[in-house]
Amino acid sequence: MEKIRKYLVHLIFAIVLILLIILFAAGNLFLIPSIQYSGYQSKLGVQPIADTTRISEKETKALEQKIVQLNRKTDRLTPGSAFLIINTTDNTFSLYKNNQVVRKGLCSTGSFIQLEVDSTKSFMFETPKGVLSVQNKIVNPVWRKPDWAFIEEGLPVPAQNHPSRYEKGVLGDYALSLGDGYLIHGTLYQRFIGMPVTHGCVRLGDEDLEVIYKTMQVGSKVFIY
């Protein structure tokens, strides 16, 4: 009899445990998702927050006036006549007249090669950047060879006014001086146009050089970057 009683107790305990497990599983499967879904539905019913980023009519007019002022300032800073833009990264140029592009094409700028003379002296072949202007216009320019031209060829450097410093026919038909010995000029090596191969000057093809020479005036701006 005692054994039967113990058996019934164990059986009842097992049944209760199984029922509790079933209730717990049912809660996870049905009750909790239902509560979560109800909460999600309530969130969907929330009214959207009012847009506080709208610009008033007064602010819009102030911005429009600011744009007008900036445009006027840009017009004042932009040369009204002809100007030239040189891109040393792409080796390209853009010629403007009356704020309109009238010609675009390839050019050659500084090679960035450094010529070492000795421990105290060297030359960096770089085209100067910034806002420059045409200092002088020259027809049939003659190249006055600087010191580095002789050093580069392994020749002794002559006196400043020695005849060997002057070389004709190597700069094309025209040149525009930018100061400090830098020129916009032509070249005998047309096939290298578009490459960074110069000692600092800007080289152009014959046709582009002629157009730029005839369009630009002394004082015209040259923007190099």
Domains in the chain: how many in total? 1
3-state SS class at 87: strand
> Taking the mean position of all CA atoms in its chain, how far away is CA 36?
52
Percent of the chain with pLDDT over 70: 74
Is pLDDT above 90 for 159? Answer: yes
Mean pLDDT is lowest, of 16-30, 88-102, 157-171, 196-210, for 16-30
In a domain, 179, yes or no: yes
Nearest partner of 152 among 197, 101, 115, 195, judged by Cα: 115
Top pLDDT among 43 and 161 is at 161
Is pLDDT above 90 for 71? Answer: no
Query: Residue 211 is part of which domain span?
Result: 75-224
**pLDDT given for residue 80 in this prediction:** 62
Arithmetic mean of pLDDT over the chain: 85
* Residue-wise burial string across 125-135, b where 16 or more C-beta atoms lie within 10 A, e elsewhere: bbbbeeebbbe
Is pLDDT above 90 for 25? Answer: no
In a domain, 62, yes or no: no
Euclidean distance between CA atoms 225 and 215, whole angstroms: 21
Residues 204-211, mean pLDDT to the nearest whole number = 98
Both structure tokens of 6: 């113990």
In a domain, 88, yes or no: yes
pLDDT tens-place string over residues 161-193: 999 999 999 999 999 999 999 999 999 999 999
In a domain, 117, yes or no: yes
Euclidean distance between CA atoms 181 and 159, whole angstroms: 17
**pLDDT given for residue 220 in this prediction:** 97
Top pLDDT among 2 and 210 is at 210
Helix H, strand E, coil C: the string for 1-60 is: CHHHHHHHHHHHHHHHHHHHHHHHHHHHHHHHHHHHHHHHHHHHCCCCCCCCCCCCHHHH
CATH number of domain containing 102: 2.40.440.10
How would you classify the pairing of strands 121-124 and 114-118? antiparallel
Cα-based distances in Å from 121 to 112, 118, 146: 16, 5, 14
Can you give the pTM of this predicted structure?
A: 0.66
